[in-house]
Structure 1
Amino acid sequence: MSRSGYTLPVFACASAIAALHWLRHCQPLKVVSVDLIEPAQIVEIPIEQVAGLSENMALAITHSDPGDNLDLTKNTPIWAMVEWREEGEAVIIRGGEGIGKQLNADDKPAIYAYAQRLLQENLRRMLAPGEKITVTIILPEGRSLAVRTSNAAFGVVEGLSLLGTTGISQPLSTPAQLDAFRSELQRKADSFESLVFCIGENGLDLAATLGINPERLVKTANWLGPMLVEADVLNVKEILLFGYHGKLLKLAGGIFHTHHHLADGRREILAAHCALAGLKSADIRAVFNSATAEAALKYLRNLNASTGGDWVERVYTAIAQAIDTRSQEYIQSHSSRGVAATVCGSILFDRDRKIIVKSQTGCILMGKLC
């Protein structure tokens, strides 16, 4: 049985609680209680160290524990520095060293909605009326760890993100995690005919900000094939595949487990669709030799600008249609429902979380969901 742990925002919140407790009582805490909010659960988080830095400032340290998840942040130190303030909002949250910056949001710290809510709600409960604090989250190893992630593909540089929609961290590539995803799908299929599949946290976060009911969102990680089959078994009418183009375009090549250790094929898929769209041989080679899918997309955008063409639209429209077609074929190959089998549409976004393309079916589904 796999052991679940907690996401980075939970440990950041625990450190902040311990630092604020020190400011109020000048006493260190060895364990703090954190309300996860999502799910509605109180958990106990051990504190490594607490110290007063001045009369108005304290620092506390925890270490990340993502459970059995093969997460590169396992056991990484997470600091929170809390300081009393006289003016402004009750709780101001800042990103210190090791917290990434969002290039598409004026270098704002990459501390996203769930982490903000977690910190705000837990810390406000500890403040008396009129009290105000500044909380600075620091990941001493964040900058070095970030180079081993895909953060830069999503416009986050110089550190890690405090990202997620829940406080629970579970392994994403084990059969036990697939069982957890299937259980969530089964629960939501009882309430909705149309659902949205998101591979990761970026998709979940963006879909919610676009107005899609979070209760319709289902995380799949890399298990898209088994989850599509499960949706059909559960008589789900429609699935919107909503994801980062560098992951989702693999489906256009018939790859339905998207972990890069099992299969990649992104540059081959992109180059093939460029050839079908009529690009010149030199441009096809440039796309094929791009280091990442994001670099290939940038090349096509630059080609649009220099030639006045519409290559991004032509190539990605074809890819989105291929994703729908291959997904439909995959479902049909495992289904006994015939024409009643689950229908798929797709929406792809880029590293700046901007929509690149909606398939024809994706447009229809998006209209129903928002």
Structure 2
Amino acid sequence: MVEGVSIPPRPGYTLPVFACAGAIAALRHLLNPGDRPQSVTLDLLNPPQPADIPIAQLAPLPDGSVLAITHSDPGDNLDLTRHTPIWSVVAWGSGDQPEPIHIDGGEGIGRQIDQEGAPAIYRYAREVMVHNLRPLVPQGQTLRVTIILPQGRALGDRTSNAAFGVVDGLSLLGTSGISAPLSAPGQLDESREILRDKASRYRHLVFCLGENGLDLAVKLGIDRDRRVKTANWLGPMLVEAGQLGLAGVLLLGYHGKLVKLAGGIFHTHHHVADGRQEILAACCAAVGAELPVIQSVLAAKTVEAGLGILRQTDESLSHRVYQHMVDRIDERAAAYVHAHMAQPLTVGTIVFDRKRQVVARSQLAEVLFHQVLVD
């Protein structure tokens, strides 16, 4: 790095891109055993641009299928899938296969509890694979693609996938082929620029940590342009909002992330700090929950599981705990901004569960939600 010059963070690609690249390489070898590509070029679809992906290994298997292996490269991001191998196994389909290209998940691909155990291979992953593979499949033939993540089960245990109903592995998730380095320091500068632009046009904005919040905001009737994606940089972004003179910020996020703010943690990446169950248990104690309930919440594997315990115990208790949580987030966020600058900032909080159902909203959130709609 040149002294005084900031090098922007390097983007990478999402897991579906590597799965697709491996499938292309395997199909090419299936069509022509002499074709052993060291890299392949594919169309990302979103964004509509090409990507060159290295192929680490490729081999025909005894059953007539072909295996290609790629390795994840998420760019300059704190991502636990970095360098993890992705296996793409391709074989000709059977005569009774209903679709031209059948995509399935093998070992390490998570299973969706609420979809009868269907593999956690989502729309973008399927679309990018079908788009790139279909032109290569001979007319009258069908194809079977199986994606395997050998380390997926172990890595999945280190994520919040279970809170979103995905077990036994990782998801082929994402709406884009680009893995933006949301947790890399350079991304904060880009997010600040976006915030400055929107603060010049609006007095009230909505901060969303990720795609789930962005999507729910629109479903709640919030204008798309009012949303700001903060990723894990909530603290610096709130201070920036105060410095820009915003009248108010509405926080909209998954309760398993925003709960950290109630404990004074303003960088929400798990590599920085955690303590989610401990904070939720403290919220239980603050509203007078009985000791066995507090202990059960503290011992829960996820905050989503903790919410389930509270709901099963007493819906009224669950409501009180989460109302305390969002009010506490408001207080801690306002105090955090005030500690860094004299300019006050009004902050309101809405949290939702893994089904994107609103669990609680603070009193200030009610006011700010109206302001965001009419301002």
Structures share a fold, TM > 0.5? yes
Q: CA deviation at 1:203?
A: 4.3
Matched to 1:346, the amino acid is T
Deviation at 1:358, TM superposition (A): 3.3
Taking the aligned partners of 2:37 and 2:59, their CA distance within structure 1 comes to 10
Name 2:19's counterpart in structure 1. 12
Contact 2:90 2:143 in 1 (8 A): yes
Structure 2 counterpart of 1:320 = 326
Match of 1:310 among 306, 309, 316: 316
Measured on the aligned residues, the alpha-carbon RMSD in Å equals 3.5
Q: Does 1:23 align with 2:30?
A: yes
Q: Which residue of 2 aligns with 1:357?
A: 360
Check if 1:348 corresponds to 2:351: yes
Match of 1:253 in 2: 263
Alpha-carbon distance in 2 for matches of 1:204, 1:16:
31
- Distance in 1, matches of 2:228 and 2:101, equals 32
Q: Measured at CA, do residues 217 and 44 of structure 1 come closer, stay the same or move farther in structure 2, by a change above 3 Å? A: farther
1:112-157 Cα shifts (integer Å, max 9, x gaps) = 2332332233334545666543322111221233233332233221
Which residue is 1:49 aligned to? Answer: 57
Query: Are the structure 2 counterparts of residues 37 and 271 from structure 1 closer, same or farther at C-alpha, using a change threshold of 3 Å?
Result: same
Structure 2-normalised TM-score?
A: 0.80
Residues 1:221 and 1:128: Cα distance change in structure 2 (over 3 Å): same
C-alpha displacement of 1:102: 1.6
- Number of equivalent positions: 362
Matched residue, 1:111: 121
Distance 2:182 2:355 in 1: 24
How far apart in 1 are the matches of 2:218 and 2:142?
30
Code of the residue aligned with 1:145 in structure 2: it is L
Q: Relative to 1, partners in 2 of residues 1:353 and 1:231: Cα closer, same or farther, differing over 3 Å?
A: same
Letter paired with 1:13: C
Q: Which moved more, 1:11-20 or 1:257-266?
A: 257-266
Of stretches 241-250 and 355-364 in structure 1, the one that deviates more from structure 2 is: 355-364
Residues 260, 67 of structure 1: alpha-carbon distance in 2 compared, 3 angstrom cutoff: closer
Query: % of aligned pairs identical?
Result: 54
Cα deviation for residue 193 of structure 1 reads: 6.3
1:2-36 Cα deviation digits (max 9, x unpaired):
43322211111111222232334442222111222
> Secondary structure at 1:310's aligned position in 2?
helix
In structure 2, what is the Cα distance between the partners aligned to 1:67 and 1:274?
A: 39
Inter-partner Cα distance in structure 2 for 1:73 and 1:42: 22
C-alpha contact 1:249 1:319 (8 A) present in aligned 2: yes
**Gap runs ≥5 in structure 1:** none
Gaps of 5+ in 2: 1-6
1:80 aligns with 88
TM-score normalized by structure 1?
A: 0.81
